[in-house]
Structure 1
Amino acid sequence: MSQPLATTPSVEDVTESIIFPPGDIYSDEPPLESDLHREQIDLLIRLIKWWWRDRNNFYATGNLTIYFSPNQKKSEEFRGPDFFVVLDAEKKDRKSWVVWQEDGKYPNVIIELLSDSTASVDKGLKKQIYQNTFRTPDYFWFDPVSLELRGFHLIDGQYQDLAPTESGRLWSQQLELYLAVYLGKLRFFTPDGDLVMLPEDEANQQLEQTSQQLEQTSQQLEQTSQQLEQTSQQLEQERQRAAILAERLRTAGIDPEQIF
């Protein structure tokens, strides 16, 4: 009796046989290196969310796991950038970024914060993963202690160094913003070179401007008051001169009212 011929499984059969892990997976990142790292990550997240507060088509977060393979081997198939931004994504809270649940999207921008224990990985293995697997267009690393800042842009599948401006700023094509160190922190700058501020920074700036305006108004009022005082003194001097003249006329037997 002949055996039935073996058939090659179709693409549909193979696809259906792959069991992807659930997409609702919690982040699995280690604690941050220091307060400097935590404060820097929080600052970057707050800045970009405030700058793009009228946009609903991006996701920005930090120290959150990116799951990008159903195999889920920790050392190979998921990474947790210190800060990343995904464009054309729904703006909502997530437990983690699960690539196969996000239409295959990877971060458009990644920033890693260097430390003694992570610098070699950030500059080596992670850079290769972000270049070859994530295909993340803009990658930066920053050392909160030494203030080392370096950036790369993906060109023809390879990271190319970004050349800093004369003021030391690096351009992110994806964010359409500059990155640079300002008062010991990594900050964003507009294409015109203005510092991207937090809401409290803007409020303080407005208060400062209002205070300066009030100070100018106060100075103008003081000048006006001095001018009025000078005018009043001049009028008083004129009155005194008129009184002296009138007295002299009366002494001379002349009625002042006949003259004035």
Structure 2
Amino acid sequence: FRGPDFFAVLDVDGTKQRQGWVVWQEEGHYPNVIVELMSPSTSKVDTGKKKDIYGRIFRTPDYFVYDPFKPKSLQGWHLDISKGYQSLVANERGWLWCESLDFWLGTWSGTIDREEAVWLRFYDTEGNLVLLPEEVAQQEAETAQQRLEEAEQVVEAERQRAEAESQRAEAESQRAEAESQRAEAESQRAEAERQRSQRLAERLRAMGLDPDNL
């Protein structure tokens, strides 16, 4: 019996509920990736006896060890069938390549479960952090909230546009009403002028004068 701190097994039923991983109940599938979290009391076993078992018996392709209290302690090996475990060389960021998962393995400073520390995390080929399920849920919630806010902004902009259009229409209506009133006033003025001219012409005729010849 050997229980690694972290391990991943590929090409198996990931939906099946398990209390642990029992190789002979899993068609002989051993872990493809193992990570051991070392401490001063376990470091020799993790890099010695366990490493030998994982390479010689488990035949686990990728094996890593890391001391959480020593951020630069990450070590890793990839299994060569003929030569055994071969040491991995870190990139410029200090990450190690995990061939089985097509991920980089490296450190990350941040808060998980309200604990701030330097954690061991996976990164994709582009260098992006592989999110934990709770981080994915938080990101989706933030994206949904952002979309809601954007939708509300669109609705508010549309409301303001409609209100501006209504005000413009109202102003146009008022302008038309004012123009109508002006035209009505002009018509009344013209009618009053016509009536005044008519009364004057009647007075002139009453006086024996021809208003057309004046």
Among 164, 167, 170, the alignment partner of 1:236 is 170
CA distance in 2, matches of 1:113, 1:124: 14
Q: Distance in 1 between matches of 2:126 and 2:26?
A: 34
Give the 5 Å matches for 1:27-42: none
Partner of residue 104 from structure 2, selected from 175, 178, 188: 178
- Code of the residue aligned with 2:50 in structure 1: it is K
Q: Which has the higher helix share?
A: 2
The TM-score with structure 1 as length reference comes to 0.55
Matches for 1:13-92 after TM superposition, within 5 Å? 65-66=1-2, 80-87=3-10
Output the CA distance in 2 between the equivalents of 1:239 and 1:96.
79
Q: Which runs of 5+ in 2 are unaligned?
A: 111-117, 190-214
Question: How far apart are residue 130 of structure 1 and its match?
Answer: 3.3
Aligned residue for 2:187, secondary structure, equals coil
Provide the aligned length of Structure 1 versus Structure 2: 177
In structure 2, C-alpha distance between the alignment counterparts of 1:187 and 1:178, rounded to whole Å: 8
1:193, distance to aligned residue in structure 2 (A): 4.5
> Partners of 1:229 and 1:89 in 2: how far apart?
60
Counterpart for residue 117 of structure 1: 41
Q: How does 1:181-220 map to 2 (within 5 A)?
A: 181-182=107-108, 183=110, 184-191=118-125, 193-220=127-154
Aligned-residue CA RMSD (Å): 3.2
Give the corresponding residue for 1:150.
75
Between 1 and 2, higher relative CO (CA 8 Å, sep ≥ 6) is seen in 1
Judging changes above 3 Å, is the alpha-carbon distance between structure 1 residues 223 and 181 closer, same or farther for their aligned structure 2 residues? Answer: same
2:59, 2:186 → 1: CA distance?
107
Cα offset for 1:173? 2.0
Change in Cα spacing, 1:174 to 1:233, as seen in structure 2 (3 Å) is same
With over 3 angstroms needed to count, the CA separation of the structure-2 counterparts of 1:117 and 1:236, relative to structure 1, is: same
1:107-126: CA deviations, max 9, x gaps? 43221101122223323443
> 5+ unaligned residues in a row in structure 1: which ranges?
1-64, 67-79, 256-260
Residue 221 of structure 1 aligns to a residue whose secondary structure is helix
Paired residue type of 2:7: F
**Larger Cα Rg: Structure 1 or Structure 2?**
2
